[in-house]
């Protein structure tokens, strides 16, 4: 198909209207593309065929194919690139294999920007189609950039997997995956996200996108974000993404994709276009109207509400709080919620917040300093409030509760974000992965009961909240079946007896009402750790116990009283 520049600009305009508000930096200028308008061989100005086998004569991950530069494995027809995997015996470099395919390297590399790839993707068993990126500095013999730039081994070069299909066999067909490979997480990486397409990916075109800024990398399917990578600490281990990367397109066969179907003959990945956007105009104007205030506070988190204006349309906020630094970008003039997590209860914190744009222009009166004090921590494994996310983020957070009845566990989650509409919830089981829809109770409260559990066993679940324009996934919670995290109802004690300090590091000092007092120390699972009879003044040694929440029951002639202890 012929695509003139007006068509490209119109398509970009439509995409910008529906989705670019979701990403942290909007990239507007088309800097490189291939529309695949010339039938026949691939444009050698744009693409390089990577065919050299790695040392040992086999491709990585136990793949079974040869990659070739033959036109039958990669060609342009009717306005689309076809990458074709074929079942055939083929000998190259002294090695015979049973399948051929193509692995293409772009001859264009860039740092920061957006890629859009419109494609149909094969789904046959044992196929592994991929759209992905590698650092231009990778030391990989046979790669296009290796001879001139190959100074870093994998994964120190960084790898960005925009789209993969076929290697997550526990997921259904049409589930596509994105992953980040870095020195901090590679191979069986933990930095991973995915989504099931709304229509078949082999017979329908979908747009697979990656938006890469200095602060985070987001992945989109048909203009909807489903995963964002934004490590709190960015260094060579977690963020080797401050250097140029290039694009790879290929279909691998077998290996981690599993056994290949016995009736397989050939399949194709059909790519309509590849487009790369960046911002090429020099920006010298700094952000204005910067405000920073405190939002919701819990025992372990503080919400910062930030807003500023910038002519570029995007503002980057950098928060420094002594023990850590975090940064994110957000559209100009729109309030951004940043939740600082992992804090200590009952603790004073000072946050220095800076605002700048993608070109590095800083707000005139940086930084704004905000002070906040965390509250007492009442969260347990059974119930609580959190804002931690395993995918994307929450503007406020969510409540959670686990309750055992017999051998059933009722799991309830409530989304606290007020800026989400059309919310539905899905319960995610961690191992083996499964997803099941939860029932709506009212508002944004959802529940699901899992049956036939074993008392004393540990289960691990998260919840995916899907809503108009995206989704957010909670962290995984570990819950011991049968635990209620309380000591039950006791007779209240009105007279004053107390303990100190709280939080405590080692020695907990008790001031009790009787000369003889029966004390019991338990953990949040109700397990008894200490039982003793003590005098009115007593020091309890907590140094053998790990950090966390404990409960102290005191019983004497005045009744029973329960204390909650926080061990540092």
Residues 230 and 353 reside in one and the same domain:
no
Tell me, yes or no, whether 491 lies in a domain: no
The strand pair at 245-253 and 103-110 is best described as: antiparallel
What is the domain-level CATH number for residue 508?
2.60.40.3080
Asked whether residue 264 falls in the same domain as residue 309, the answer is no
Q: Do residue 273 and residue 306 come from a single domain?
A: no
pLDDT in tens, the chain (568 residues): 444 444 444 344 334 433 334 688 889 899 999 999 999 999 999 999 999 999 989 999 999 999 999 999 999 999 999 999 999 999 999 999 999 999 999 999 999 999 999 999 999 999 999 999 999 999 999 999 999 999 999 999 999 999 999 998 788 999 999 999 999 999 888 889 999 999 999 999 999 999 999 888 999 999 999 999 988 778 999 999 999 999 999 999 999 999 999 999 999 999 999 999 999 888 899 999 999 999 888 777 888 999 999 988 889 898 988 767 777 888 889 898 888 877 778 889 999 999 998 788 999 989 999 999 988 765 566 888 888 888 777 888 899 989 888 889 999 999 998 888 889 999 999 878 788 999 998 889 999 999 999 888 889 899 999 888 778 889 888 888 888 764 333 333 334 566 677 778 888 888 777 778 888 888 766 678 888 888 888 888 888 888 877 778 888 776 677 777 878 7
Catalytic one of 124, 159, 216, 381: 159
- Active-site residue (options: 63, 124, 140, 164): 164
Same domain assignment for residues 41 and 140:
yes
Residue 88 bears catalytic tag = no
Task: Answer for the pair 355, 317: CB distance below 8 angstroms, yes or no.
Answer: yes
Tally of structural domains, the chain: 4
Query: Which of 338, 373, 408 is the last residue before a domain boundary?
Result: 373
Contacts 24+ apart (CB under 8 A), 317-323: 317/353, 317/354, 317/355, 318/353, 318/354, 318/355, 318/356, 319/351, 319/352, 319/353, 319/354, 320/351, 320/352, 320/353, 320/354, 320/367, 321/349, 321/350, 321/351, 321/352, 322/349, 322/350
Q: Are strands 470-474 and 434-437 parallel, antiparallel or unpaired?
A: unpaired
Domain boundary pick from 373, 408, 429: 373
Among 343, 373, 403, the domain boundary falls at 373
Domain assignment present for 492 = no
Same domain, 399 and 530: no
The boundaries of the domain holding residue 268 are 5-278
Judge whether 164 counts as a catalytic residue. Answer: yes
Yes or no: say if 101 and 251 are a contact pair by the CB < 8 Å rule: yes
Q: What CATH number should be reported for the domain holding residue 193? A: 2.60.120.200
Residues 246 and 340 placed together within one structural domain of the fold: no
Q: What global pTM score does this model have? A: 0.64
Both 96 and 206 in a single domain? yes
């Amino acid at each position: 198909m012929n695509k003139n520049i007006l068509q490209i600009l119109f398509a970009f305009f439509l995409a910008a209207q529906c989705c670019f508000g979701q990403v942290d930096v909007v990239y507007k200028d088309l800097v490189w593309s291939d529309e695949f308008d010339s039938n026949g061989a691939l444009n050698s100005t744009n693409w390089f065929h990577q065919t050299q086998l790695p040392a040992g004569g086999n491709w990585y991950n136990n793949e079974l194919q040869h990659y070739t530069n033959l036109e039958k494995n990669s060609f342009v027809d009717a306005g689309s690139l076809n990458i074709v995997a074929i079942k055939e015996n083929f000998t190259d470099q002294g090695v015979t294999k049973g399948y051929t395919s193509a692995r293409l390297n772009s001859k264009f590399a860039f740092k920061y920007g957006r890629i859009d790839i419109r494609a149909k993707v094969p789904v046959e068993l044992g196929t592994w189609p991929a759209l992905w990126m590698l650092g231009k500095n990778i030391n990989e013999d046979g790669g296009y950039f290796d001879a001139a730039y190959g100074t870093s081994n994998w994964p120190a070069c960084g790898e960005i997997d925009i789209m993969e299909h076929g290697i997550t066999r526990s997921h259904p067909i049409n589930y596509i995956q994105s992953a980040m490979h870095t020195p901090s997480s590679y191979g069986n990486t933990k930095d991973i996200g995915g989504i099931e397409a709304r229509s078949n990916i082999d017979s329908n075109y979908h747009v697979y996108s990656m938006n890469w800024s200095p602060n985070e990398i987001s992945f989109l399917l048909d203009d909807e974000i489903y995963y964002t990578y934004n490590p709190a600490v960015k260094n060579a281990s977690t963020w080797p993404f401050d250097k140029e990367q290039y694009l790879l397109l290929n279909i691998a066969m077998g290996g981690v994709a599993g056994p290949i179907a016995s009736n397989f003959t050939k399949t194709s990945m059909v790519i309509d276009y590849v487009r790369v956007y960046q911002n090429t105009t020099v920006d010298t104007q700094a952000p204005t109207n910067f405000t920073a205030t405190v939002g919701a506070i819990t025992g372990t988190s503080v919400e910062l509400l930030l807003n500023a204006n910038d002519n570029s349309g995007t503002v980057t906020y950098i928060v420094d709080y002594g023990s850590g630094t975090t940064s994110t970008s957000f559209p100009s003039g729109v309030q951004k919620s940043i939740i600082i997590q992992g804090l200590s209860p009952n603790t004073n914190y000072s946050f220095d917040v800076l605002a700048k744009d993608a070109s590095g222009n800083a707000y005139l009166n940086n930084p704004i300093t905000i002070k906040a004090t965390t509250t007492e921590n009442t969260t347990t494994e059974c119930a609580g409030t959190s804002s931690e996310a395993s995918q994307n983020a929450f503007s406020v957070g969510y409540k959670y509760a686990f309750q055992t009845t017999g051998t059933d566990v009722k799991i309830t989650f409530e989304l606290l974000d007020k800026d989400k509409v059309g919310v539905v919830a899905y319960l995610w089981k961690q191992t083996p992965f499964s997803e099941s829809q939860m029932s709506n109770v009212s508002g944004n409260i959802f529940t699901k009961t899992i049956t036939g559990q074993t008392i004393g066993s540990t289960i691990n679940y998260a919840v995916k909240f899907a809503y108009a324009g995206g989704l957010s996934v909670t962290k995984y919670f570990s819950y011991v079946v049968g635990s209620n995290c309380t000591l039950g109802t006791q007779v209240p004690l009105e007279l004053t007896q107390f303990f100190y300090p709280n939080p405590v590091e080692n020695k907990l000092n008790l001031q009790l009402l009787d000369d003889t007092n029966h004390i019991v120390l338990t953990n949040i699972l109700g397990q008894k750790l200490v039982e003793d009879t003590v005098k009115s003044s007593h020091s309890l040694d907590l140094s053998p116990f790990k950090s966390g929440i404990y409960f102290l029951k005191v019983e004497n002639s005045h009744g029973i009283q329960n204390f909650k202890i926080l061990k540092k």
